[in-house]
Amino acid sequence: MAKITYEKPIVEMQGDEMTRVLWDWIKEILIEPKVALKTEYYDLGLVCRDETDDRVTFEAGEAIKRLGVGVKCATITPNNQRKEEYNLKRLYPSPNGTIRAILDGTVFRTPILVKGITPYIPTWTAPITIARHAYGDVYKATDVLVNDACKAELVVTKTNGEVEKYPVHDFKGAGVLQGMHNTDKSITAFARSCFNFALSAKQDLWLGTKDTISKVYDGRFKAIFADLYENEFKSAYEKAGIKYEYTLIDDCVARIIRSNGGMVWACKNYDGDVMSDMLATAYGSLAMMSSVLVSPDGNYEYEAAHGTVTRHYYKYRAGEETSTNPVATIFAWSGALRKRGESENNTALMQFADDLERATVQTIESGYMTGDLALLFKAEGITPKKLNSRDFLNAIAERL
């Protein structure tokens, strides 16, 4: 059978440790037999990052800007222990941080659902995607410890030298104080990524903030989202039959819990930090969480939400078999291939992405899975069989 082809290459970013091993197996067993892969390859493994003084990471980010679609393997963010282990020239920053800064993007995390692994909230039958605004607020704030009685003010100095002062608090004794900010540019980029993502997923977009209390600050998020919706996205949303909704964050949380899922939830930085861990846990497993970085101008970088699974890698290196879950990495590949298919109106490629995801889900649902899932799996009449990573990939390939 002829392999599926496409025009524009996908940016392929190889990574580290166990996920680096899975990466090659996924290509060999699941993708290359059916698709004539055309990628621009960047090795973001720690060895190559060190050899190139991290230039390779910047080049990969620029390549995503140029080619529009990328797929990334998990990578080590080095600490001092890694510096010694890999004999590094210096402590390189997180590749995800570098690429996010180049693309100015927002990260969307979506759980992969299978029958037999029931969320802690059983009514969540469709995935909830969290979009976390990854700039500013308490993550870039100035904290001050106040030791004694004092008058605290916010001071704003304009470019023309004019000074404005705003009262914060008259301290009668010790306490704490915090100054934080965000920018219209960053909030707008976040909003645009969210509107684009929800439109492409054909799901409703929700935004929740506390604008009743934080009238100016949270009010700015609400206003920027509302403006963008009215001026740029409304007619496309109406045509797609989806909605944009703003609610107070407390009401939003209550409604999410009561819902069946199936929406994109835009969160301010802190809310997204907290809620994404809650969602990942509630849906079952970090190894079943997919992740995509979307830039405001519509470039996509797909990856798994988990790390390089170091403990399994050390076992693998010692010659032992491991049962490491490749599902989120498979979905990173299917996401990138589908997106490339969409951009070229390539039905065969989009169909392959759908088939690959369905074969993966059905393999698990029929009782064949990796060890982490076998611990969670419960379905009447099916005893879960724990496979090693390669056998699991082969089982998917057979079904595919």
- Contact footprint for ligand NAP (CB under 6 A): 74-77, 96, 286-287, 303, 306-311, 324-325, 372
- How far apart, in whole angstroms, are the C-alpha atoms of residue 223 and residue 243? 17
CB of 277 to Mg ion, least distance (A): 5
Kindly give the interhelix angle for 347-365 and 327-343, rounded to the nearest 10 degrees.
160
CB of residue 113 to ligand NAP, shortest distance in Å: 16
Contact segment (CB under 5 A) with Mg ion among 148-156, 197-205, 270-278, 345-353 equals 270-278
CB 342 within 8 A of CB 298: no
Q: Between 100 and 133, name the residue whose CB sits nearer to ligand NAP.
A: 100
- Judged by beta carbon, residue 273 or residue 342, the one nearer Mg ion is 273
How far is the C-alpha of 356 from the C-alpha of 78, rounded, in Å?
Answer: 33
Instruction: Name 62's Cβ contacts closer than 8 Å, sequence gap at least 6.
Output: 102
**Distance from C-alpha of 121 to C-alpha of 283, rounded to nearest angstrom:** 8
CB of 12 to ligand NAP, least distance (A): 15
Tokens of 159: 């470019």
* Residue 196 binding result from ligand NAP, Mg ion, none, given CB thresholds of 5 to 8 Å by partner type: none
What is the C-alpha separation between 106 and 100, in angstroms, rounded?
8
Nearer to Mg ion, 186 or 276 (CB): 276
Q: Which does 57 bind (CB under 5 to 8 A by kind): ligand NAP, Mg ion, none?
A: none
CB 128 within 8 A of CB 263: yes
Q: Is 137 in the site for Mg ion (CB under 5 A)?
A: no
Tell me the two tokens of residue 346: 């390539």
Compute the least distance from the CB of residue 274 to Mg ion, in Å.
7
> Going by C-beta distance under 8 Å and a sequence separation of 6 or more, which residues neighbour residue 78?
46, 86, 88, 91, 92
CB of 272 to Mg ion, least distance (A): 9
Return the number of the residue (193 or 370) whose C-beta is nearest ligand NAP. Answer: 370
- By the 8 A CB rule, do 237 and 200 touch? no
Q: Indicate whether 273 belongs to the interface with Mg ion (CB under 5 A).
A: yes
Q: Which stretch binds Mg ion (CB under 5 A): 18-26, 125-133, 206-214, 272-280?
A: 272-280
Q: How far is the CB of 132 from Mg ion (least distance, A)?
A: 9
Q: Which is closer to ligand NAP, CB of 211 or CB of 303?
A: 303
Pairing mode, if any, of strands 175-179 and 142-146? Answer: antiparallel
Complex with Mg ion: residue 224 or 267, whichever CB lies closer: 267
Q: Which stretch binds Mg ion (CB under 5 A): 216-224, 243-251, 271-279, 308-316?
A: 271-279
Task: Tell me whether residue 20 or residue 306 sits nearer to ligand NAP (CB atom).
Answer: 306
Q: Helix/strand/coil (H, E, C) string of 263-291? A: EEEEECHHHHHHHHHHHHHHHCCHHHEEE
Residue 273 touches which of ligand NAP, Mg ion, none (CB < 5 to 8 A by kind)?
Mg ion
Residue with smaller CB distance to ligand NAP, 106 or 308: 308
- Closest approach of ligand NAP to the CB of residue 242, in Å: 29
Give min distance, CB of 92 to ligand NAP, in A. Answer: 11
Stretch that binds Mg ion, among 122-130, 168-176, 201-209, 275-283 (CB under 5 A): 275-283
318: Cβ–Cβ under 8 A, 6 or more apart, which residues?
none
Kindly list the distances between the CA atom of residue 216 and the CA atoms of 41, 137, 175, 219, in Å, as whole numbers in the listed order: 46, 13, 24, 5
Q: H or E element: which one contains 353?
A: helix 347-365
Residue 287: which of Mg ion, ligand NAP, none does it interact with, CB under 5 to 8 A by kind?
Answer: ligand NAP
Residues that bind Mg ion (CB under 5 A): 273, 277
